[in-house]
Amino acid sequence: MSMPHPHTFLQPKGWVPAKGYANGVLAQGRMIFTGGLVGWNEAQEWVETDMVGQFRQTLKNIVAVLAEAGAGPEHLVRLTWYITDKAEYNGNLKEFGAAYREVIGRHFPAMAVVQVVALMEDAARIEIEATAVIPEA
């Protein structure tokens, strides 16, 4: 799934390129902000219990919210992930990458991943906030 990039990715001269994320993104247009989305389905039911499964569903949820504004994954400019277990995350990097490419494609906005003690939904292993920008025509 290759999509055009409607935004400019910022890579300072001489910096080692970021892998799997962008250091910065320049965007202009209509902005979309999601709340912290988790990996339950549209009926708020938990199908997946592991972090990778919840991650895949969380990304699908983000894409569904973006679609309500006529946006797609290519419009993402920032993702902030909150995870409950750094070891589980680091131990499954290939699986996270595969799930990301399956749902989002090869579009890598600015991202941050933060380990937290707990999330508000007890069953949640991951929560993600997204920001997207639809360029004005």
Give per-residue pLDDT as tens, 86-126. 999 999 999 999 999 999 999 999 999 999 999 999 999 99
Which of 127, 116, 134 shows the shortest CA–CA distance to 59?
A: 127
Tokens for 70? Answer: 């006529």
Q: Is 21 left (phi over 0), alpha (psi -120 to 50) or beta?
A: beta
Predicted confidence at residue 6, as pLDDT, reads: 80
Predicted confidence at residue 69, as pLDDT, reads: 96
How far, in Å, CA of 28 to CA of 135, rounded?
Answer: 6
Give the residue with greater pLDDT, 17 vs 78.
78
Helix, coil or strand: residue 79: strand
- Asked if the model's pLDDT at residue 4 lies above 70, the reply is no
Angle of helix 51-67 relative to helix 93-103, nearest 10 degrees, comes to: 20
Predicted confidence at residue 2, as pLDDT, reads: 46
Q: Confirm if 36 and 129 have CB atoms less than 8 A apart.
A: yes
> Helix, strand, coil shares of the chain as percentages rounded to 5?
25, 25, 45
* Integer CA distances (angstroms), 125 to 62, 101, 115, in order: 16, 20, 10
**pTM: predicted TM-score of the whole model, two decimal places:** 0.91
